[in-house]
Every structure is written in structure tokens, then in C-alpha cells.
Amino acid sequence: MFPILSIRSHARSRYRLLATCAVTATLAFAISQAANAQAVSQGEQDRPSENPTSVGTGAADSGEIFVTARRRTETVQDVPIAISVVGGEHIDNTGSFNVGRLQQLTPTLQYYSTNPRNTAVNIRGVGVPFGLTNDGIEQGVGIYVDDVYFARVASATFDFLDVERIEVLRGPQGTLYGKNTTAGAINIATRQPTFDFEGRAEISVGNLGFRQAKAAVSGPLSETVAARIALSSTGRRGTLWNTTSQRWINEQDNLGLRAQVLWQPNDNLSVTLAGDYSQQDPECCGTVFVRTGRTQRALNRQYEALANAQGYAPPSTDAFDRLTDLDASLNAGNKVGGASLKAAWETGIGTLTSVSAWRFWDWKPENDRDFTGLAITTLSQNPSQQDQYTQELRLSGGEGALGYTLGAFFFQQSVDTQGSQQQGPAASAWLINPSNPLNSDPSVLDGLTATNTIGLDNTSAALYGQVSWQPFAGLTLRPGVRLNYDSKDGDYASVVTNGAGQLVTYQSTDPRIVAQRAVLAPQAFTVDYKDWNFSYDLTASYEVSGEVLAYATYAHTFKSGGVNLNGVPSDGDGRPILEAATVAPETVNHYEIGMKARFWDRRATLNLSAFRTDISNYQALVTNGSLGVLRGYLANAGQVRTQGLEADLSIRPSLRFNAYVNAAWTDATYRSFTDAPCPPELSGGASLQDGQVPDAPGTPAGISPANCDISGARLPGVSKLALAYGAEGNLPITLLGEVGAVYLGVDGSYRSRFSSNPTPSAYTWVDGYALTNLRLGFRGGKGFEIFGWVRNLFDTQYFEQLQVPSGNTGLIVGTPGDPRTYGLTLKHLF
């Protein structure tokens, strides 16, 4: 019925694939010639494939899995932290090429994204508020790549590039990491330059026009200098058909490059200069009609009546027909990159590490904010340019009974955003009350435009440290402290003009201006925030035996306060309420106990943890429901608690079979939030007056409370039960003269239902779902591998997220998850 590929996406994908394959072939030829010139030994020529690891515990058939979660090299089982480890080979084999896919392997991780900017990464249900991003606050989950902090979570939407392993640390990590991380950290370690020639090349093709190519080459430039370069390119046709543009949208279009140079003049000093650049250019990010639900607006102001009045109907009322008719331009242009210089010096008192880095992010979005095919909002975009500079110094050392890590961290970020929103000819009939004669005049709102300028200067500095002390054999105490300073200076200005070029002001009493002001309101303010915070933690661990480690942790920490940069509420005269312009810091008390054990002659690994986190002054997203007035601002929401149990089990009885199960039960709820925004079914009616009681949810023209008490309700985006599981078995065979093994692997995940709105609504619960991925292939002993794969094997229909468009019309839209995909991958290590 529809073309397989639009001309635009097909041409671009073909060009990018040909270019990437050419570079891959060039790299492969170069490394082959270099290896021959250096007379590489037969043992190096027969370099085997990577040793497969288990998801979660990181267990391997041979050797220990080392991590740097505590800023020193140690085995996973020696780290008294709840940590999930995913090896690079498992990332490749399961198609988990970004953080969004990673959540299918690590059940305590939650990832939600309506576009790269509006992306949230949470651990155990907390980290950042669910909903539209506000640049004026911090993220509670720190993302680090080779020790460099990534301030903007948009980086999580890019492909992993030449990754060796990923460590997901659960719980506060502020006394070990440069930026305070109250919910956890994602520590990504890439493959480093080597003084032995090596390389890798990988190409994948699949349905939906999927094309992915990866390549990396590493080797010496001299006796003391080595270099590594890696690239990745991913393209795929979109999964939604736009009947308006006659194109597939929500495509994948990623390109990444990383280069590193290592100088190692002696065994005590190493200096690594690294640079990376990634870009995305998809036509994204669209939604589909899911359902409608009654609100407390008058019936003639709810979705069905408004749509009928303009003769409008969505292209399908079945979301999994994957049809949309969005008529505004869509774009998610996204560029991320930077450079870093890391030096590690082995001194007589420990390892001194310096990490200096600069990063940038350029964001060029275009959205359809009315989520329909009507010309209500014809333009919505908030291009943003962000730069950050970080400097971290660490000294880690000590032997025997006493060890330590001391650090200093400096962070500076600047944000410059230029936003605009414009209403179209269908806006008057949709947004103005039908009882108002202006409702029938398209010119009232047509051309109404808000032009926003937003700026932020964000500076943070910290001193932190942790001491490891063994009072007697087996027992280790690890107290840690952190002193943190934050300064944020922001400004927000929104200038509104109508289609005739007139300024829309609060002083005007012209009925047309009043109607326009109710849709897009002018506002301007400046705000600054400064604060000192002190936090601390204590971990006690005990080696019950050589294979069993028990630990307990208490942490008192905080998440920095912030400023609102999406606008704030105004009083009756249009003056911004500046009390709402700043957000107080969250105060966090965290308790955790855990156990790490290996048994069955180290064939089995079991890690258990139980936790409870109490948060005061939780930073929550608040919306007022009126289209265009506020995109959402932040407020402190009383108290939140998240608690749960986690288990990671892997078994490897032989070289021929391995299996894993990772499970998380999470109970994350608002403990006290008495003035929360109401859900759509309780919004849009007449204001509650003294002596009145609200009408039942979904009563047209009913009485709505000004706010709602949602104490005890579940936090958005959190499934009570989440699982990840998998197994792989292999048999030795000889294929085309090469000795290797044929293998069959399966990986699955399950999530129980979760709320997809900051305030739980009957209309926005996402049903639980299970996903199953399958792979069958051959892994050769000389580094060659070929396998076929199927993801979402049973073509499960599920939603990644549901959204409530502003306006309280009762419309619910959503983002369907990927359908079944399948393909073939060829990989070669040499």
C-alpha cells in the first residue's frame, strides 16, 4: 500500500551506507597491510572472538571481569555496590546500540524519550522528572564516557561507539564521581588504543531498510604512541506512515566517529587525547492517535466535538496501524561532540588522574505540538546550543588496610535557546470557546507567534573523597564525603505578536488581544540560584568467605536546586511569579544492603540487593493544561519514596552454555504531594469554590479542583516488576575450513504496566509487555562471526510512552514500540 522507502530516506541511507562501507574497507585494508609490515605472529593472526560475558554480573567463561566503578580497577564481585555490567560483545549481539535499548538488558534502568531533548534516564524510578525537559535542573543519573561527564541526556539517544563495557551503578555515587549523582551512574568504557595491531569491522542489514556499519582500527604509531579510530553509521526507515507528507517518519539516521591517541612514555604515565563527533538527522518525532477520554471541559470543547466542528478525523483510530497525519514540519537534528585529555600518573602515593574535557550539543528540532492533521499549531521549535567544560582531578591509592580516593571537580555550562511557536488558521475554532464570536474568525489566532529566548550559565564545583579502612580481616569500612557549590543564572523572555504584527500585551483590553493572550502569553524574567551542599555516605562490607561478599550502605545526599527556564505562572496582571522561578534541592536518604556470591566452582554468580530511598522536596514537572501558556515548569513536590529488591543471576556450567536472569521489583510512590496537577479527567471544568465539591472524573462542564492530592500514587514510568533474561548454547563445528562454534541465543525482557503521565491518569497507563529476541550464528576461532537475528520475535504491540497534549481536550497520543525486525550481521576481528 505504501512505498517501502521514501525517495529522500532511500537516497540518504544508500549514500551513507556506501560511504561507511568504503571507509570500513579502507580501514580493513590499512590494518591488514600494517599487520603484514610488522610481521604479526601467527597467534595474533588467529585472535579469537571476544570472550562472551553474562548480562548483569558480567561473568565470563575464563578470566575476571574488571570494572572501574569506584575509580580503580577491580573485579565486579569485589565492588560493594549494586552494579550491572554489560559487555561490548553483548551490546552488539543484542542490538542494544543506545541507552534506550540498554533498558531491555538492565531492568532497574528506565528510559523515556519523545525526542532527543525530551529524554529521561532514571534508575529505580528516580533521576529526572518525567516529561518535557527543563535545562535549569540537573539529572540524577550521571552519564560518563571514559570518565567524561555528559551533562545533557540527549547523548543517550546516540549509538554506542566502540564500547568495551557498560557499568550501570545503582544508588547515590556522589563521593566517587565528579558530578553529584543521586540515583546512579552509567559508566561507559570504550576500547582503548593498543600497541598491538588490531581491528574490527561489522555490517548489518535488515528489514525496514535497516543498515548499520561499524569499524575500528588500533595500533602503534611509535614505541610510545598508539592510536585508535572508530566509526558507526545506522540508518533505518521510519515506523510510522505520515499520510500528510506521504513519508515514513521516526526513522533512524545516526553517524558517529571517535579518535584517540595514547602517549605512554613509561609504565608510570599515560596520556590520552580523544575526540568524538556524532550527528542525527531523522524526520522525527511523531505520534499516533491512541484514544480519547472525557475531561471536565464543556462537551463542545472536548476533542470529539472540536474535531467534528472542523470535519476532522485521524487517519486511523488503531494506533498499531502506525498511521499519523501530522502537518507541521518534523525534525530532530542533533549534533554532539567534544574533546578530552586524560592523564594518569602512577606516583609514590597513588594514581593521580586528570580529566579535562569540552563538549557541545546543537539541537535543531521541529514538532507538531497539536498532534493532529489540523493547522492549529503550525510551528513549534526550540533550537538550542550548549557548551560545557569540565576538569576533574583524582588521587587514588593506599595499600593493605587503608585506601583512599580524593577528588576535585569543576563544571561550567552555557545554554542558548531560541524558541518559536506559531498558531495556524484552525486555531481559533479549536482554542477559543465556541460561545465567543471570535471562535468563527480564523484570523484571530492565525499567525499568532511567540518568540522565546532562553539563556543559562551553570557553574558547579566540588570536593569529594572516600576512604577504605580494614579494622580487621574481612571487614572494610568506606566513609565518603562531598562538598558541592552550584550557581545558576538564567533568563527567559517570550515576545508574542499576532498575525497583524501587533504586540500581545497584558495591558490591552481589546477582545482579540485578550483571546490571543489566553493562548500565547508574553513573559520575561531573570533568575539566579546559588547554594552549598554537604553530603556523606558509609559502606560496610564483609567477606563472609572467599566467594561471598555482604555489604550495607547509608547515604545522605542531595540533587542540586535549579531554575525554571520554560516559563513560570503569572499573576492576574501578567507579572511572573518569581517564587516559582527557582526549585529547591532534593534531599536524599538512601539505605541499601546486598550480597555478591559465586558458587558451583564459580560456574554460578548471584548478586542480591535491597534498597530504600527517601527524597524530600522532590523536583516534579507541573503543567497547567492550557495550550501554549506554559510548556511545563518545575516545583518541589513534598516527599517521594522508592524501595525494592534486585537480583542478578548468571550460570555458566560449561563453555557450551550460559544463561542469565536479572529481576527488579520497584515500589516508587509519592509519599506526600498534596498540590499536584490534576489528571485530564479531573481538569478543565469550573474552578472549585468554597463549599463546593469536585464532580466525578470525566463530568463534562463539571467542577474541577485547583490541584489534586496524589500522595501514595505511583511515580510515572516505573514498572513494579521488570525482568531481563537470556541464554546461549553452542556446538563446535568446522565451517568453510574454519574451526568455530554454531550458537543459538535468546534474550528477553518484561515490564509490568506503568503510568505515562506525571500525575497518574486512567487514560495513560501503559500495559505490561514482553519482548523476545533471537539470534543464530557461527563464531569462528579467528575472529569471524556471522549471525541472523530477530528482535521482537512475536511482533508484540506495545507503547514506549503515552502523552496528554495540553488543552484538556481528552486527546491521548502515543509512540508505538518497534515492530518485529530481522536481519543479518557479519563481523570480523583481526
Q: What percent of the chain has pLDDT over 70?
A: 91
In whole angstroms, what is the distance from residue 480 CA to residue 540 CA? Answer: 12
Q: Mean pLDDT, to the nearest integer, of 637-643? A: 94
Residue 447 pLDDT greater than 60, yes or no: yes
In whole angstroms, what is the distance from residue 358 CA to residue 459 CA? Answer: 14
Selected residue with higher pLDDT from 42 and 783: 783
In whole angstroms, what is the distance from residue 798 CA to residue 194 CA? Answer: 43
In whole angstroms, what is the distance from residue 391 CA to residue 396 CA? Answer: 17
| CA 546 to chain CA centroid, nearest Å | 37
Residue 621 pLDDT greater than 80, yes or no: no
In whole angstroms, what is the distance from residue 614 CA to residue 126 CA? Answer: 11
Winning range, highest mean pLDDT, from 55-64, 86-95, 309-318, 698-707: 309-318
CB 744 within 8 A of CB 788: no
In whole angstroms, what is the distance from residue 579 CA to residue 681 CA? Answer: 29
Contacts of 90 (CB under 8 A, 6+ apart): 52, 53, 55, 96, 105
- Does an H or E element contain 598, and which? strand 586-599
CB 634 within 8 A of CB 134: yes
pLDDT one-digit tens code per residue, 312-350? 999 999 999 999 999 999 999 999 999 999 999 999 899
pLDDT score for 39? 33
Q: What are the structural domains of the chain?
A: 7-48+200-829 (2.40.170.20)
Q: Nearest to residue 101, comparing CAs of 159, 164, 165?
A: 159
C-alpha cell at 584: 529547591
Contacts of 535 (CB under 8 A, 6+ apart): 172, 174, 175, 180, 481, 482, 484, 555, 556, 557, 558
Q: Are strands 784-791 and 562-563 parallel, antiparallel or unpaired?
A: unpaired
Q: Mean pLDDT, to the nearest integer, of 231-254? A: 95
CB 781 within 8 A of CB 790: no
Q: Nearest to residue 576, comparing CAs of 490, 689, 679, 448?
A: 490
Candidate from 161-170, 614-623, 710-719 with smallest mean pLDDT = 614-623
DSSP-derived secondary structure letter, 125: T
pLDDT score for 68? 74
pLDDT score for 512? 97
In whole angstroms, what is the distance from residue 630 CA to residue 624 CA? Answer: 7
The cell 554532539 sits on which residue? 336
Selected residue with higher pLDDT from 623 and 516: 516
Residue 17 pLDDT greater than 60, yes or no: no
Candidate from 43-47, 54-58, 235-239, 541-545 with smallest mean pLDDT = 43-47
At residue 733, what are phi and psi to the nearest 5 degrees? -145, 170
- Which amino acid belongs to residue 27? L
- Which amino acid belongs to residue 643? Q
Q: Are strands 323-324 and 738-751 parallel, antiparallel or unpaired?
A: unpaired
C-alpha cell at 233: 553509521
- Mean pLDDT of the residues in the chain: 88
In the chain, count of helices (H) and strands (E)? Answer: 7, 46
Selected residue with higher pLDDT from 278 and 16: 278
Selected residue with higher pLDDT from 479 and 92: 479
Residue 617 pLDDT greater than 50, yes or no: yes
- Which amino acid belongs to residue 702? G
Candidate from 33-37, 111-115, 307-311, 469-473 with smallest mean pLDDT = 33-37
For 336-374, the DSSP string reads: EEEEEEEEEEEETTEEEEEEEEEEEEEEEEE--TT-SSS
For 756-791, the DSSP string reads: -SSS--TT-EEPPEEEEEEEEEEEETTSEEEEEEEE
- Which amino acid belongs to residue 811? L
C-alpha distances out from residue 475 to 360, 402, 428, 547, 590, Å: 44, 12, 71, 14, 21
C-alpha cell at 439: 471562535
Selected residue with higher pLDDT from 499 and 37: 499
pLDDT score for 62? 64
In whole angstroms, what is the distance from residue 386 CA to residue 151 CA? Answer: 10
In whole angstroms, what is the distance from residue 98 CA to residue 110 CA? Answer: 13
Q: Nearest to residue 82, comparing CAs of 611, 653, 655?
A: 611
In whole angstroms, what is the distance from residue 714 CA to residue 446 CA? Answer: 40
pLDDT score for 572? 77
Q: Nearest to residue 185, comparing CAs of 133, 143, 223?
A: 143
pLDDT score for 69? 65
Please state whether the peptide bond connecting residue 21 to the residue before it is cis, i.e. omega within 30 degrees of 0: no
Question: What is the pLDDT confidence band of residue 96, given thresholds at 50, 70 and 90?
Answer: low
Q: What percent of the chain has pLDDT over 90?
A: 71
C-alpha distances out from residue 305 to 43, 297, 401, 679, Å: 74, 11, 74, 20
- 388-398 in b/e form (b: 16+ CB < 10 A) is bebebebbbbe
pLDDT score for 632? 64
Residue 4 pLDDT greater than 60, yes or no: no
CB 381 within 8 A of CB 448: no
C-alpha cell at 548: 561471598
Longest dimension (CA), the chain: 90
In whole angstroms, what is the distance from residue 506 CA to residue 613 CA? Answer: 45
C-alpha cell at 103: 533498558
- 734-762 in b/e form (b: 16+ CB < 10 A) is eeeeeebbebebbbbbbbbebbbbbbbbe
At residue 280, what are phi and psi to the nearest 5 degrees? -130, 145
Residue 45 pLDDT greater than 50, yes or no: no
| Environment class of 712 (CB within 10 Å of its CB; exposed 0-12, middle 13-18, buried 19+) | exposed
In whole angstroms, what is the distance from residue 140 CA to residue 121 CA? Answer: 9
In whole angstroms, what is the distance from residue 376 CA to residue 353 CA? Answer: 55
Q: Mean pLDDT, to the nearest integer, of 493-498? A: 96
Taking 3-state DSSP, the helix, strand and coil percentages for the chain, each rounded to the nearest 5, stand at 10, 50, 35
In whole angstroms, what is the distance from residue 375 CA to residue 361 CA? Answer: 31
- Which amino acid belongs to residue 758? P
In whole angstroms, what is the distance from residue 510 CA to residue 516 CA? Answer: 10
pLDDT one-digit tens code per residue, 770-788? 999 999 999 998 899 999 9
In whole angstroms, what is the distance from residue 408 CA to residue 487 CA? Answer: 17
In whole angstroms, what is the distance from residue 295 CA to residue 297 CA? Answer: 6
> Helix, strand or coil for residue 439?
helix
Residue 436 pLDDT greater than 90, yes or no: yes
CB 755 within 8 A of CB 764: yes
Residue 133 pLDDT greater than 90, yes or no: no
pLDDT score for 198? 96
- Does an H or E element contain 814, and which? strand 811-816
- 265-296 in b/e form (b: 16+ CB < 10 A) is eeeeebbbebebbbbbbbbbbbbbbbebbbbb
- Does an H or E element contain 409, and which? strand 402-423
Q: Nearest to residue 585, comparing CAs of 621, 639, 526, 531?
A: 531
Q: Are strands 703-704 and 639-654 parallel, antiparallel or unpaired?
A: unpaired
DSSP-derived secondary structure letter, 179: S
Residue 624 pLDDT greater than 80, yes or no: no
Question: What is the pLDDT confidence band of residue 46, given thresholds at 50, 70 and 90?
Answer: very low
Residue 629 pLDDT greater than 90, yes or no: no
In whole angstroms, what is the distance from residue 599 CA to residue 102 CA? Answer: 28
C-alpha cell at 571: 499573576
Selected residue with higher pLDDT from 96 and 570: 570
Question: What is the pLDDT confidence band of residue 63, given thresholds at 50, 70 and 90?
Answer: low
pLDDT one-digit tens code per residue, 138-150? 888 989 999 999 9
pLDDT score for 316? 98
CB 249 within 8 A of CB 240: yes
- Which amino acid belongs to residue 89? E
Q: Mean pLDDT, to the nearest integer, of 693-722? A: 94
Candidate from 19-28, 402-411, 611-620, 714-723 with smallest mean pLDDT = 19-28
Residue 525 pLDDT greater than 80, yes or no: yes
Candidate from 46-50, 60-64, 584-588 with smallest mean pLDDT = 46-50
In whole angstroms, what is the distance from residue 538 CA to residue 556 CA? Answer: 9
Residue 156 pLDDT greater than 70, yes or no: no
CB 615 within 8 A of CB 672: no
Residue 181 pLDDT greater than 90, yes or no: no
Residue 50 pLDDT greater than 90, yes or no: no
Q: Mean pLDDT, to the nearest integer, of 103-115? A: 85
Q: Mean pLDDT, to the nearest integer, of 494-506? A: 96
